[in-house]
Amino acid sequence: MGGDDGGDDVGGGAVAFTSPEPGSSHARDHLADTGWLVADVPVAVTFDADAVEIYAGDELLGTVDSAGALTALVRGLGPVTLTARALRGGAEVGTDTLEVSVIEPTVADCHGWLDLYELTWEVGGDSPGVEDPIVLGVPVNGLSYRYSANTSPRETFTVMDCQLARSLAEAAPMLRARDIVEVVDIGVYNYRCIGGGTPPDCPNGISQHAYAMAIDIAGLTDDLGTFYSVNDDWVIDPDTEETCAAATVAGADAFLHDTICELKAAGVWNIVLTPNYNDAHRNHFHVDLTPGSDFIEHGPLVDSGPDNH
C-alpha cells in the first residue's frame, strides 16, 4: 500500500488502500456498459473523510461506499496506478496510491473473444478464402450496421472472418463515445483480386475482402441523426501531408479525420485507406487486418501502397 496520505497537513483526512494487493494482476474480462472490456478490481480503503474517489491515472473510476469498498472497472492494459483521493468539504485531504497490472484474458481461440464481447454469432459455412467464417449478428457491441444500398439495418453479416468481427467489437466503444449509433458499410466479403479478377490468378495480389478480413465504411450516423459521409464530408488532404497530421476543416471533415485516426492509432485495424489514397476510395474507408502491416497514408507517398484493397 500507499503513498503520501497528506492527512496531517490538511485536516487529518487519512486514506489508505487495504485492497487490492500491490502488483496484483487482474484480467480484462468483463464487458462494461460502455462496450469496453474492463478488469473488475476490488478496491477497499480505510479513511477518515466525507468521501473517497478512486482514479486510474486521471480517470475517475468511482467513489467508495460507506465501508470503503468499490469494484473499480479498469480498461487500460499494463501497469495501472490507482489513486485514492480523500475529500472533506469538497477539498482533498489525503491520498494513497498503489500499482496493479491489467492483463488480457485467456481465451481458447478467436471465438472466445466474441463471447467476451457478448456478440451474437454462429459458425459460418465454407467460403473460399475465409479461414474462420462466422455469421455475425447485428447490432455489434451496441452499434447498428446498415448496408449503404438499403434503408433498413442489417440483421447479420452472413460471411465474416472471426478476427474482423472481433475488430468491430473493439471499435464499438470508441465510436459510441463519439455518439455514433450506426455504421453504414459497402460490404465485407468479396472473393476477388485487387483490381478485379478471381483468385488465385491475381497479378496485383488477393484482396483482403476475399478473406472476409476487410470492411468498407461509407459513413457514420450519430444519435441526433447526423450522417457523416466519407464521400461528401471528407476533405482530401494535400499530398505532402500525412492523413492524421494534416489540418482539417471544422465540422464533419474534422470529425471523420479524428475518428478514423483514433481507431487506427488504437490498433483496431492494420490498414486504413481513406479518400486520400486514390480515387477508388473516394467514397469509403477501407479497413482491414493485413498481417504484419501498419498503414494509413496517401498513395503518392509510397511506392505502390498496400496490396490489400
% of the chain exceeding 90 in pLDDT = 89
Given this model, what pLDDT does residue 1 score? Answer: 46
What is the dotted CATH code of the domain comprising 7-103?
2.60.40.10
% of the chain exceeding 70 in pLDDT = 92
The fold of the 110-301 domain, in CATH, is Muramoyl-pentapeptide Carboxypeptidase; domain 2 (3.30.1380)
Q: How far apart are CA 166 and CA 117, in angstroms?
A: 8
Give me the chain's average pLDDT, please: 92
Convert the pLDDT of each residue in 91-145 to its tens digit.
999 999 999 999 999 999 999 999 999 999 999 999 999 999 999 999 999 999 9
If pLDDT is split at 50, 70 and 90, which confidence band does 178 have? very high
Given this model, what pLDDT does residue 55 score? Answer: 98
If pLDDT is split at 50, 70 and 90, which confidence band does 11 have? very low
Does 5 score more than 70 pLDDT? Answer: no
Convert the pLDDT of each residue in 34-48 to its tens digit.
999 999 999 999 999
Mean pLDDT of 281-297: 94
If pLDDT is split at 50, 70 and 90, which confidence band does 297 have? confident
CB-count burial class (<10 Å; 0-12, 13-18, 19+) for 111:
middle
Q: Which of 169, 207, 171, 163 minimizes the C-alpha distance to 189?
A: 207
Q: Which of 176, 191, 79 minimizes the C-alpha distance to 126?
A: 191
Q: How far apart are CA 192 and CA 56, in angstroms?
A: 46
Question: Over the range 46-68, which residues count as b (16 or more CB within 10 Å of their CB) and which as e?
Answer: ebbbeebbbbbeeeebeebeeeb
Does 16 score more than 90 pLDDT? Answer: yes
Given this model, what pLDDT does residue 239 score? Answer: 87
Given this model, what pLDDT does residue 14 score? Answer: 85
Mean pLDDT of 167-190: 98
Which of 7-21, 55-69, 288-302 has the weakest average pLDDT? 7-21
Does 13 score more than 80 pLDDT? Answer: no
Alpha helices in 154-229 (DSSP H): 162-177
Convert the pLDDT of each residue in 240-256 to its tens digit.
899 999 999 999 999 99
- Residue type at 43 in one-letter notation: V
Does 305 score more than 60 pLDDT? Answer: no
Does 298 score more than 80 pLDDT? Answer: no
Q: Where are the domains of the chain?
A: 7-103, 110-301
Given this model, what pLDDT does residue 50 score? Answer: 95
Does 303 score more than 60 pLDDT? Answer: no
Mean pLDDT of 77-104: 96
